[in-house]
Amino acid sequence: MATANSVAYGLSSAQTELYKKTNTDVMVAFKDFTEEYGWADDTPDIRITASANEMRLVIDVNKEVGVANIAEGGYEAIASSVSAENGTLSPIQMNARFSFSTLYKKGWDGSGAKAGQIENEVRFKALKKTQALARVFGQQFYGYSNGYLATVLTTQGASATQTNLPLKDPFGDTDIDDTSANGLAYLSLLFPAGEHVALVRSAAIVEIGVVNGAGSSGDGFLDVTFNAICTPTAGDFLVLANAVTDATLAGTSYNKAPVGFLDATKSASVHGIATSSVPGWASYEDTTGGRWSVAKQKKMAQKIMNLGGVKADRMIIAQGVERDILAGESAARRYAPSDAYDLDGTFKAKGVKVMSSELVPPGTVGMWNNKAFTKKFFNDLPSEQGGPDLFSTDKVQDRGLVQASLDFIMLRACTNRGGMAVATGLTEQ
C-alpha cells in the first residue's frame, strides 16, 4: 500500500522476480543475523486475536485454596473462587526503509550486464537494512518495553556536539554490569555509528541526535551530534529515534519496544499486572553475584518449578560468564574432560537449550520454560514457497526515488513469570 508521500510503483516481470529473490534473501538473512529471532520463533504462538489496539490476555497466576477436612456431618468447605488476571498486550511494528533511483526501472528490463549490477545494489541495501532490523530485534529480546538502551552517567556541558558522552546501566538496569571491560564494551555495542537516538528526561524528550561513533575515551563513551544545543544530564535515558517525524517523544521508541527478557523477569509490572497487587506474578531473581555454579543453576531450576510449576528448558548466558565457567572447569578438571561442554567450549545443560550471544547482557544468566515467554508474529518472515512479504516498494511522490520498506509486526508475551528466572552481577572473564 502506498504511503501518504508515495504512489504505487509498477514492476516488470523481471523486476518482480528480483523482488521475490530479494525477499527470500531477507528471510535467510534475518534468521542468520540474530540467534534471538530463532529462539523467539521456536516458542509457541500465544492464542490471541490480532488488533491494532490493546489486546487482552487472561493469565492464571493464583493458586486455588479452600480445602477443608470435615467430621462426619460437619460443615463443608467455604465456597470460594479465585479469578484470573487480565493482562494487556500491544503489537509492535518494526520498520526500516531505504531508497534508490527510478533509473532502476527506467533503465533496466532485467537483462544484460546492467541487470546484475542493479540486482546487487538492491540486494545489498535490502540485506543491510535486514541486518539492522535483526540487530534491534536481538537487543529488544533482552531489554525493557520502555525502550531504554542506556543512562547518562554524568552531566555534560551545553553543546549540540557531545564528545565522550559517558554511559551506564545497559537498558537502564542498575543491576547490569557497566564498569568492567565487558560491561563498557556492551554499552558501546548498543550504539553503532549512524544510529539516531534521543535523550529522554522525566518522560519528555530533550533532543534527538545521531551517533558518530565511540568516544576517544574508549568503550562506554559516545560521540553524538544533536539537532540543537542541549545539556545531557545524569540520569537521562537514551532511546532509539529513527522515525520520520518532528522532534517529539512520539517519534522515538520510548514505550514502543516489545516485552524483553529483563522486562519479564524484573519489572514491577508486566502487561499491566503489578507484582505488588498480585504476589504470584513474579520471577526468581538472584543478585548475589559471584561465579556461576552448579548450585546456583540448580536453585534457579528449582525456583522455576516451585514458582511456575514448569521445568526450565531454555537458558541464556553472557559470553563472559561462559568463559569464566570454562576457566573454572578447566582448573577443576585438569585431567578429565567435562561433560558440561562441547569440544568447542560451548556450555551445555542437560535437557536445556543454551544460547550464549554477544547481546546477552554482561554478567547475566537467565532460565525459563519455553511456554512461559511466548510471542505472536503477525507477518511471518517470507519463505521460498511464497510466504508474506517483508519487502515492499513505493515511488516517492514528485521525486525520482523508489522507497523500499521492511516491516515486521509482532508482540512478546510473558504468560508465567514464575516460570522465568534471572541472575545478574556474575563474575566474567
Is residue 383 within 8 A of residue 105, CB to CB? The reply is: no
Bridge-based pairing state of the strands 6-7 and 314-317: unpaired
Q: What is the pLDDT of residue 98?
A: 79
Is residue 41 within 8 A of residue 397, CB to CB? The reply is: no
Q: What is the pLDDT of residue 12?
A: 53
Position 183 pLDDT exceeds 90: yes
Tens of pLDDT, residues 141-180: 999 999 999 999 999 999 999 999 999 999 999 999 999 9
First CA to last CA distance, the chain: 50
Q: What is the pLDDT of residue 214?
A: 93
* H-helix or E-strand spanning residue 226: strand 221-230
Position 5 pLDDT exceeds 60: no
Is residue 264 within 8 A of residue 395, CB to CB? The reply is: no
Q: What is the pLDDT of residue 388?
A: 39
Is residue 371 within 8 A of residue 365, CB to CB? The reply is: no
Q: What is the pLDDT of residue 36?
A: 92
Q: Cα(95)–Cα(92) distance, rounded to whole angstroms?
A: 10
Q: Cα(420)–Cα(373) distance, rounded to whole angstroms?
A: 8
In which band, very low, low, confident or very high, does the pLDDT at 280 lie, cut at 50, 70 and 90? Answer: confident
Quote the mean pLDDT of the chain.
83
Question: If DSSP codes are grouped into helix, strand and coil, which group holds residue 233?
Answer: coil
Closest of 229, 176, 244 to residue 199, by C-alpha:
229
Is residue 31 within 8 A of residue 24, CB to CB? The reply is: no
In which band, very low, low, confident or very high, does the pLDDT at 57 lie, cut at 50, 70 and 90? Answer: confident
Total residues belonging to the chain: 429
CA-to-CA dists, residue 284 to 172, 178, 196, 316, 424, angstroms? 20, 22, 35, 15, 12
Mean pLDDT computed over 52-64: 72
Tens of pLDDT, residues 289-314: 999 998 999 999 999 999 999 999 99
Cell numbers standing for residue 30: 534475518
Mean pLDDT computed over 261-289: 94
Q: What is the pLDDT of residue 6?
A: 37
Is residue 196 within 8 A of residue 208, CB to CB? The reply is: yes
Bridge-based pairing state of the strands 92-101 and 401-414: antiparallel
Q: What is the pLDDT of residue 88?
A: 86
Amino acid at 183: G
Q: Which CATH class is domain 281-374+415-423?
A: alpha beta
What pTM was computed for the model? 0.84
Q: Can you count the helices (H) and strands (E) in the chain?
A: 8, 20
Position 338 pLDDT exceeds 60: no
Position 226 pLDDT exceeds 90: yes
Other CB atoms within 10 A of residue 156 CB: 18
Tens of pLDDT, residues 7-39: 334 445 555 566 666 666 666 667 777 889 889
Q: What is the pLDDT of residue 23?
A: 64
Give percent of the chain with pLDDT exceeding 90.
Answer: 51
Bridge-based pairing state of the strands 284-286 and 420-423: parallel
In the chain, where are the structural domains located?
Answer: 6-47+96-142+375-402, 150-251, 281-374+415-423
Q: Cα(271)–Cα(86) distance, rounded to whole angstroms?
A: 8
- Rounded to 10 deg, the angle between the 13-33 and 112-142 helix axes is 30
Closest of 196, 1, 15, 193 to residue 100, by C-alpha:
15
Closest of 70, 27, 35 to residue 381, by C-alpha:
27
For residues 50 and 129, the model is more confident at 129
Position 2 pLDDT exceeds 50: no
Beta bridge partners of 329: none
Q: What is the pLDDT of residue 15?
A: 56
Give percent of the chain with pLDDT exceeding 70.
Answer: 75
